[in-house]
């Protein structure tokens, strides 16, 4: 077969992932906070992209907004005159004669001295240094930066600069370290150990490497640890829960031999093995109950009082409200949608004055990117609304009756209904939240696995089965604790076909202890209630 060269034409279709298409796909899975950060970055980089405002007079972010009030008149516009309590006084509140001296001609210096019968320098004598200090104090600041507070420029007044900084646990311990230890080597060891303290206030259980890294002995490290454990808050710098509780009990002068034995057997306390604890501690039921009550009042994580991360409030992306016709109204949260516009007028002015090819290419790219971003944000909002509407339609029983009526749902069912790909639905439901009449849920919450029905009917949602298991356990009596096998039987009577290992898996995922542990807990609570009732009966007047 001879090798020859020839030209061929072929026609084919292929999907090309352009950078803009990849970015549009990325925008779908961003949360509202990440999306706002991305849009802010684009606003800084692209001069043709502007933040849209609801009204022409609305302020632009980053610039001080004009203050408006209900009071009119030019006399109150400057804000230089203040009355009592920091409020402006009305013009009628001044008496007729109070302002006459401001406009009266007092005459020359000699006339004033003759009227006062003394020299001007003798009326209010003032030293030169005091006069200079008074002049400097009375001088008004020329910019916001002179007021302090860290304002970077006169364009915006940073109120957050006046918020007190939150003290961290490391700073709090370092301040006490400077007072408690005077030796340089001891302070170095103490600072190293403070850096090892976690957010709960605990040191690592094994500090063997600390002495080797610091070039000191293990005895010196242990001595510094003992000093750190005397710091505030009580229980700090412990290496275990037992040591943390023991430090706090020593602070309260309650670490007697019985309490020490109880602290050394916290595993039995967790199992509610009251009989073994009573035997080990050598006390009766009443004293043991008092000791357990004291331990419950201690703080197992003392470090969380300092520098704890603030809880970020979940802002829903979609609102679901009951409609007037018995249905549901689904709408987007406009506060989470960035509003940007393409500044076409600015581009038109620039295109008339730009002469260099590089500048023309730059602004053409900026116009293209700005136009794409506006379209991508609009498409993202429409896609979220479409997916949320289909979820509400599929899970109508949940919104009407509750978790027990949550249906099995997967991504494919929603994707087929709205004619989109499963990957698109997966990206839309990531990091998005829906505010409903039953609370705020992540969109992925409504996608649950399917569990077959015992009678061959409609399948049950895994989340609904978990809810049913929790209801059964919450309603059990202390004398009739339900085992996993009993729960399986009751679920089958309700038409749910489920295996015992699945019940155990769901129970452990909901942090519900086993039947043995629940029996001990409820019997302990019942015994404590009976003991309290007996005490109140004994102390009641005859």
Q: Which one is predicted more confidently, 57 or 117?
A: 117
Distance CA 234, CA 403 (A): 44
Query: Is residue 220 within 8 Å of 210, Cβ to Cβ?
Result: no
Map tokens 């003290």 to a residue: 167
Query: Is residue 399 within 8 Å of 438, Cβ to Cβ?
Result: yes
Q: What is the pLDDT of residues 84-96, one digit of tens each?
A: 333 333 334 344 4
Distance CA 455, CA 461 (A): 15
Q: What is the pLDDT of residues 209-260, one digit of tens each?
A: 888 888 888 888 899 999 999 998 899 999 999 999 999 999 988 889 999 9
User: Average per-residue pLDDT in the chain?
Assistant: 77
Distance CA 381, CA 338 (A): 10
Res. 24: pLDDT tops 60: yes
Q: At what angle do helices 285-296 and 274-281 cross, to 10 degrees?
A: 100
Res. 389: pLDDT tops 90: yes
Res. 72: pLDDT tops 70: no
Percent of the chain residues topping a pLDDT of 70: 73
Predicted pLDDT at 74: 40
- How far is the first Cα of the chain from the last one, in angstroms, to the nearest whole number? 120
Q: Which one is predicted more confidently, 311 or 182?
A: 182
Q: Which two tokens stand for residue 155?
A: 């364009």
Strand 433-436 with 328-332, pairing: unpaired
Q: How confident is the model at residue 331 (pLDDT cuts 50, 70, 90)?
A: very high
Map tokens 């303290």 to a residue: 197
Q: How confident is the model at residue 112 (pLDDT cuts 50, 70, 90)?
A: low
Q: Which one is predicted more confidently, 404 or 64?
A: 404
Map tokens 């794409």 to a residue: 372
Q: Which one is predicted more confidently, 331 or 352?
A: 331
Predicted pLDDT at 206: 83
Predicted pLDDT at 458: 67
CA dihedral (248, 252, 253, 256) positive or negative: negative
Predicted pLDDT at 99: 47
Q: Which one is predicted more confidently, 453 or 430?
A: 430
Backbone angles phi, psi at 440, to 5 degrees: -105, 125
Predicted pLDDT at 320: 92
Q: Which of 375, 364, 354, 352 is nearest to 47 (CA)?
A: 364
Distance CA 54, CA 56 (A): 7
Spatial strand order in the sheet of 328-332 = 328-332, 318-322, 433-436, 439-442
Query: Average pLDDT for residues 203-211, to the nearest whole number?
Result: 83
Query: Average pLDDT for residues 466-479, to the nearest whole number?
Result: 86
Res. 446: pLDDT tops 60: yes
Question: Among 79-83, 159-163, 234-238, 531-535, where is mean pLDDT lowest?
Answer: 79-83
User: What single string gives the DSSP state of each residue in 414-445?
Assistant: HHHHHT--HHHHHHHHTT-EEEETTEEEEGGG
């Amino acid at each position: 077969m001879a090798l020859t060269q020839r030209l061929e034409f072929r026609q084919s279709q292929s999907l090309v992932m352009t950078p803009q298409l990849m970015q549009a796909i990325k925008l779908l899975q961003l949360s509202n906070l990440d999306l706002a950060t991305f849009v802010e970055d684009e606003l800084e980089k692209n001069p043709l992209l502007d933040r849209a405002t609801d009204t022409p007079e609305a302020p632009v972010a980053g610039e001080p907004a004009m203050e408006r009030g209900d009071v009119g008149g030019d006399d109150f516009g400057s804000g230089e005159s203040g009355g009592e309590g920091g409020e402006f006084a009305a013009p009628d509140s001044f008496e007729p004669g109070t302002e006459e001296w401001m406009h009266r001609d007092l005459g020359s210096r000699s006339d004033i001295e003759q009227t006062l019968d003394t020299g001007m320098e003798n009326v209010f004598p003032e030293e030169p240094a005091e006069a200079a200090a008074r002049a400097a104090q009375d001088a008004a600041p020329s910019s916001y930066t002179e007021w302090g507070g860290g304002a970077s420029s006169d364009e915006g007044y940073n109120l957050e600069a006046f918020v007190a900084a939150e003290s961290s646990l490391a700073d709090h311990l370092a301040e006490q370290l400077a007072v408690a230890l005077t030796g340089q080597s001891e302070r170095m060891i103490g600072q190293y150990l403070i850096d090892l303290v976690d957010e709960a206030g605990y040191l690592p259980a094994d500090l063997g490497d600390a002495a080797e890294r610091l070039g000191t002995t293990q005895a010196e490290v242990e001595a510094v640890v003992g000093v750190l454990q005397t710091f505030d808050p009580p229980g700090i710098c412990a290496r275990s829960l037992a040591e943390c509780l023991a430090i706090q009990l020593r602070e309260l002068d309650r670490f007697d031999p019985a309490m020490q034995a109880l602290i050394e057997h916290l595993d039995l306390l967790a199992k509610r093995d009251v009989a073994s604890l009573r035997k080990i501690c050598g006390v009766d039921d009443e004293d043991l109950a008092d000791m357990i009550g004291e331990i419950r009042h201690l703080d197992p994580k003392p470090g969380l009082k300092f520098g704890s991360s603030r809880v970020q409030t979940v802002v829903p992306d979609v609102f679901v409200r009951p409609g007037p016709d018995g249905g549901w109204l689904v709408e987007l949260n406009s506060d989470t949608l960035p509003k940007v516009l393409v500044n076409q007028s600015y581009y038109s002015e620039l295109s008339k004055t730009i002469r260099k090819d590089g500048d023309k290419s730059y602004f053409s790219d900026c116009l293209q990117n700005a136009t794409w971003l506006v379209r991508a944000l609009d498409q993202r909002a429409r896609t979220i609304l479409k997916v949320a509407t289909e979820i509400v339609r599929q899970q109508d029983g949940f919104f009407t009756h509750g978790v027990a009526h949550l249906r099995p749902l997967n991504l494919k069912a929603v994707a087929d209904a709205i004619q989109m790909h499963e990957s698109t639905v997966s990206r839309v439901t990531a990091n998005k939240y829906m505010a409903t009449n039953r609370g705020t849920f992540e969109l992925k919450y409504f996608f649950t696995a399917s569990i077959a029905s015992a009678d061959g009917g409609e399948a049950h949602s895994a989340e609904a089965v978990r809810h049913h298991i929790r209801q059964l356990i919450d309603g059990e009596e202390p004398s009739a604790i339900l085992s996993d096998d009993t729960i399986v039987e009751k679920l089958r009577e309700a038409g749910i076909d489920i295996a015992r290992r699945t019940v155990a898996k769901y129970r452990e995922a909901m942090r519900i202890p086993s039947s043995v542990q629940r029996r001990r807990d409820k019997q302990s609570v019942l015994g404590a209630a009976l003991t309290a009732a007996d005490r109140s009966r004994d102390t009641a007047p005859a």
